[in-house]
Chains A and B, each alone.
Chain A
Amino acid sequence: MDIDMLRVFWSVVLIAAFVFANATVMGYLERKLAGRFQRRLGPMEVGWHGILQMPIDGIKLLAKRMIVPQQAEGLIFRLAPVISLSPVMLPLIVIPFSPVLQVVDMPAGLIFVLAIEAFGTIAVFLAGWSANNKYAMIGAMRSVAQNIAYEIPILLVALAVALMAGSFNLQDIVLAQAALWFIVLQPFGFVIYLISGLSECNRAPFDLPEAESELTAGYLTEYSGIGFSLFMIAEYTHMFIICCLATVLFLGGWQGPELPWHDYSSAIWFLMKAYGLMFVMVWVRWTFPRVRYDQLMKFAWKYLIPFALVNLLITALVVYL
C-alpha cells in the first residue's frame, strides 16, 4: 500500500469520525445553549450536566426502526438520508484547518466546496418527494426554491473574496489575509454570506423546509430512526462547512497568534473561529421567529443578490485599479 492510499484511508476515517463528533458536540451545545437562552437548564440527566445526552439519543435513534410509509418510494426514501450526508462530508477534504492539516490542496478548492455543497438540496428534495406526504412535498419545494435563491449571493460574495486573494485556492485565500482579515475589507460581503449561509443550511429563521408550525416537520415528517439522525448529522455538518468557509473567506482561516507546533496547532484558531460562528447561528435560531416563504425569496432576489453584485463590482474595480 503506497503512502497516498494510506493518506486517503486515514482522511476518510478521520472525516467520518469528525462529522459524527461534530454532530454530537453541536447537538449538545445547541440544546444547552437553547436552555440558556430560554432560562432553563437544558439536558441535565445523562452524565455530568447531561453531557452524554447526545450519544444516548444517537443510540436510541439507531435502535429505533426506520418506518417507511407504504406508499413511499422505498428505495429513494432510504437513500435520501445517505445522499444528504455525502455533499456535506466531501467539502471537508479541501478545508485548510491549518497550514498542513488539509487532505487535498486543490487549485480550485473554493469552487469545489460550493459545487459539492449545492447537492444537499437534491437529498432534501428526494426525501420530501419520495415520502408521499403533502407536508414533506411542500417542504421539498420550498427547499429547492430557497437553495437556488441563496446559492447565488454566496457565489457572488465568494467570488469577490477570490478576486481580492487572486486565487480560488483556499490555502492562498487564507495566506492573503496575513495582514488584514477580509471581514474588514468586505463587511457587507460577510453579512450577506452569513445570512445566505443560514438559509443554505435551512437554519432558523430560514428553516422553511422543516417549518414545524406550518409543515409539522417538512421533508423530515416521515423519517424516523437512523434516517432522521442522518439528516440531523448532515444539518450540523452543513452548518460546520458554512462556518468553515466563512472562516476561510473572511476571518483569516487558521491565522492567529503563534503557538508551538504552529503547522498543526493553528487548527485551534480555525476551530475557535468556526465554532464562534456556529454559536451565532444557534443564537439567531433561538431568538427570531421564522420568516415567510415569499419574504425569504423577496429578500434574496431584491436585496441580497443586487447588493452582492454591487459588492462584486466594487471589489473588481478596486482590485483592477
Chain B
Amino acid sequence: MTMSAADSRHFRMHLNLGPQHPSTHGVLHLALEMYGENVLDIDPVLGYGHRMHEKMAERRPWQAFFANTPRIDYACSLPHSHCYALLLERALQIEPPARAVSLRIIASELNRVASHLLWVGAFLLDLGAFTPILYCFDDREQAVDILEHMTGSRLTHAWMCAGGVTDDIDEETVLKIRAFIRRMRARFRIYERLVTNNVIFIMRTRGIGVITPALARSCGATGPVLRASGMACDIRKVAPYGGYDHYAFDVPLGSNGDCLDRYRVRMEEMRQSLAIIEQALDRLPGGPVRAKVPRTLAPPAGEYSSSVEGARGDITYWAISDGSEIPYRLKIRSACFGNLSLIAELCQGMLLADLIATLGSLDLVIPEIDR
C-alpha cells in the first residue's frame, strides 16, 4: 500500500465495525477508515452500555454496592467484589477470618480460570475456529457450576461482603474443585493439540499486534496484555493483597507482546491459578467465614483505595467517605479501558482480519469499560 494512494480521499471507505458485530464482544463501536482491507484509522466509540455504576454508589449505603460489583465485569466478577471488600475492610479496619481469606482466593482464581476459558474460546472464534469455544464452554461450565454451588449464582456472584464471605463451602464443594483441577490439567493437553500447535493459529497470531512495553505503559495497559509484553506486573505479586503472599505461584511473561504471547500467558495463568487453588484447598483453615461487622457501615471520613488483579488486569477502587453511611464518591478503575486504548495506536495500517485478532487478544469486556 502506498501512502499517496491511501491519502487520496477517493479510495477511502468509512466502516462502522459494531456496535452490533460478531467480533466486538458486546457493544463496542469502532469507526474505521479503510483503504481496501487495510485499516488506516481507528476510533473506538464507547458508551453504548453505560449503567452509571459510580453514580449508583453515591446513592446507596456502602454495603449495598456489593450488588453492583459483579455486574461491572460479568465475565470475572469476583475480583471486583474482592476489591471492594478489601476497600471497606481497610476503611473500617475489619480483619476477615482466615477461612474467608482462603475462600476468597479459591473463588477468585476459579473465576479467573472461567474468564480465561471464555476468552480462549472467544478469541479462537474471532480467528474463525468454531470448535474450541464449545470445548472451553464445557470446561467453563464446570467452574461456573462450582461457583454456583459456592456463591449461589452463576455469573454475578454477590458473595463477598465486608468482613468475609456470606456462605461457607462444604466438603462436597472441595471435592468438586479438586475434580475440576484434575479435569482441567487433562484438558490442557486437548487445547495444546487443538489450538496451540495448530499451524494456522500460529500463522494468524505470531507477530500480530505487537505491543511494546513502552506503548503498553503509555496507554496504561495492565494484566495479561502487559505481561505478554514482558513486564512482570501482577498485583498479586508486586502488592500482595488478601493473603496472596502466602502462595507460591509464577507470573508467566511473554517476550514479543504479540497475540500468540497473550494466548500463551493466559493459558499459563490458568495453570498457575489451579496451583493456587490447590494450595489453598490443602491448607484451608476452619472457623467462621465472616467477621463481626456493624449493621450499618460508616467508614470514617477520608480517602481509601484498594487494588486487585482481575482476569483482565488491574482493578482499583478508590473511595471518598464523608463519614456517612453513603459513599461520597467511588471511582472504579478497570483494566479494559487502558487495554482498549492500545488499539488505536496498534492497528494503523493493519489488515481487517488482524484488527479482529488483536481486538480479540485484548480480552475486552465492553460493559466493564462503559460501567
Contact = CB atoms under 8 A, between A and B. Distances in A.
A200 interface: no
Interface residues of A, number: 28
A213 B131 contact: no
B40 to A, nearest CB: 14
Contacts of A289: 124, 127-129, 198, 200-201, 204
B302 to A, nearest CB: 48
A214 B352 contact: yes
Contacts, number: 76
A38 B21 CA distance: 24
Contact of B37 (A40, A213, A288, A293): A293
A148 B125 CA distance: 27
Interface in B84-126: 124-126
Interface string A47-85: 000000000000000000000000000000000000000
Contacts of B354: 292
B363 to A, nearest CB: 15
Interface stretch (A16-24, A180-188, A204-212, A241-249): A204-212
A213 B203 contact: no
B200 A213 contact: no
A37 interface: yes
Contacts of A142: 37
A205 B129 CA distance: 8
Contact of A216 (B22, B36, B129, B200): B22
A213 B204 contact: no
Contacts of B36: 141
B43 interface: no
Contact of B204 (A34, A141, A286, A292): A292
B13 interface: yes
Interface in A90-143: 134, 138, 141-142
Nearest to B128: A290
Contacts of B23: 213-214
Given A39-B135, A213-B128, A288 B198 contact: yes
B233 interface: no
Contacts of B131: 34, 37-38, 286-287
Contacts of B200: 205, 288-291
Nearest to B129: A289
B346 interface: no
Which residue of B127, B198, B353, B354 has the most chain A CB atoms within 10 A of its CB atom? B353
A294 B15 contact: no
Contacts of A287: 129, 131, 194
Contacts of A214: 23, 352-353, 356
Interface in B166-224: 194, 198, 200-201, 203-204
A1 to B, nearest CB: 50
Contacts of B37: 138, 142, 293-294
B46 interface: no
Given A138-B352, A289-B198, A205 B134 contact: no
B130 A286 contact: yes
B293 interface: no
Contacts of A138: 37, 352
B250 interface: no
Contact of B128 (A34, A141, A207, A295): A207
Contact of A293 (B21, B22, B135, B353): B353
20 contacts: A34-B131, A37-B131, A38-B130, A39-B135, A134-B13, A134-B15, A211-B353, A212-B22, A213-B22, A213-B356, A216-B21, A286-B130, A289-B124, A290-B128, A291-B203, A292-B203, A292-B204, A293-B37, A293-B353, A295-B203
Interface of B: 13, 15, 21-23, 36-37, 124-131, 134-135, 138, 194, 198, 200-201, 203-204, 351-354, 356
In order of increasing CB-CB distance, the 9 nearest A-B pairs are A290-B128, A289-B129, A289-B127, A38-B134, A213-B23, A292-B353, A213-B126, A289-B128, A289-B200
